[in-house]
Amino acid sequence: MMYRLLRPPRALSYSRLFRRRFASLSMAEPDPKLDWPEKEKVFQQELRAIDLKDLVIAMGGHDKPPEENLFAAFDEGFGFDTSAAVNRSVKEYQYVRKLGWATSSTVWLVLDKSKTPRKFFAMKLLTSQASVQVAMDRCIKFDVYRKIGAANADSPGAKHCLHLLRSFTLFNPHGVHSCFVTDALSSSPSCSWIIFIANVAIFTLVGRTPRRNPAHANVFCQDVKSDNILTVIPDPVHSRIEKYVLENQPSVYGPPLKLESQEEPLFFSSSEPLPYFDLGGTLEDISVRLVDYGQAMPVDSPIRPPLCQPGILRAPEVTLKYPWTSAIDIWTVGCLLFELLTEQHLFHQGYKGETEYSHKLHLQHIEEYLGPFPPELLKNCEDRDKYFDDKGGSKYSAMLLSIDPFIFKACCSTPIREYEPAPIEDILRALEVMDEDEVPKTATFLRKCLALDPKLRPSAQDLLKDDWFR
């Protein structure tokens, strides 16, 4: 979700705001001549007057930006950096290729020109909107970066967290952008349980610990998913990256778009992650890192958002409004493992967005696959009466609901049916993704992660010791 912030009062200028927030860092002073709100206004006016044909050509034949919307302004909740492009530089960093983007940032592979021998890093450029959140201490991910940096580097999960190497603020005529420099990583291959082994280890640092411990970050993630997990490039990292980028040139969607309001032409760059296997990676040596902490929360935070996690990964206690803890991350582990093993979502509903997500159908799926909810759990759920009767029976079990055909292709003849239990073993067999002798132990491990009572879910440390890994 993109949170909109109102413009700060004029008494607090953007340059003062950012200079105050990053005063402890080695930062370049903003040029007082850079009135970026006014520059952005001119930029938006020029866009409205541009020939649509020229715009479509620059975007590679698309009628709207193919990736991040470089035209979306600060007041619209965005404000992407429009100056980033291959071979351009900011400070000592030269842009090499775009690795990816999200609603509040773009990520670039950069070359540090001050280093000998040559070294490559990843640099995340936040939108102007997100950068203001950093400056006003409203950026969760920046706070988590600091917590991870202060945690014990020898902690078992430390190597599975992305560490912030440097941060600075970029001032240009069209915005103010916080920049985070980290290690360069490669995209995660779909390699079943091997990724998952390292993925679980992430929680030994960023998950909840049995008691508060300064050696741990003491936060939990809420939004652990495949997209937020990248793989470590094997040594020698920098020479492998240099060889790959020399052999694989970056690409853009179309020719540069020349605008009078821009000092340099605007490019619509294509996202091209670094592929793990092409960089010499092997399944035997794979290691991963969690790279996005935008949904992370302190363990002892008294505030809990009403709905966290993507719908298909959402723990039942979140839906039922039970006082949830970091055990929701262990639930996520179980869902992710099923996804990695089967290339399917266990609780997928076929909806297009959160507004179409059905809590009733989600709870029905959970009961069908994992059994009835424990009475002791339900009596402490704020929304119990929405979904269950006085005896603990589900109110939705008699409803005719559309069930995922892929799960029941060998279990029922029609995708429209009433409530019908389907043990995890039957689902795994129906999908034909593993040998028969692997089904029982895999189902047992999944049930541990997906225990309906969050108090019964094992810790991350316990999961790593499970017989399933042997």
User: Which residues are CB-neighbours of 404 under 8 A, at least 6 positions away?
Assistant: 344, 348, 349, 350, 415
Among 159, 168, 165, 169, smallest CA distance to 181 is for 165
User: Which residues are CB-neighbours of 360 under 8 A, at least 6 positions away?
Assistant: 387, 396, 399, 401
Interval 33-92: pLDDT, tens: 456 677 778 888 888 888 889 999 999 999 999 999 998 888 888 889 999 999 999 999
- DSSP lists the bridge partners of residue 120 as 111
State residue 224's pLDDT score.
57
3-class secondary structure, 426: helix
Among 68, 55, 65, 58, smallest CA distance to 2 is for 68
Q: Span 259-285, mean pLDDT?
A: 90
Interval 296-309: pLDDT, tens: 555 555 444 555 67
Length in residues, the chain: 470
Q: Both tokens of residue 119?
A: 């070294």
Q: What angle do CA 89, 92, 94 make, to 5 degrees?
A: 35
**Domains along the chain?**
14-190+233-281 (3.30.200.20), 304-469 (1.10.510.10)
Cα 400 to Cα 216, 256, 394: the distances in Å are: 47, 54, 13
State residue 205's pLDDT score.
37
Interval 424-445: pLDDT, tens: 999 999 999 889 999 999 999 9
Query: Looking only at Cα atoms, what is the longest distance across the chain?
Result: 71
Total-model pTM: 0.67
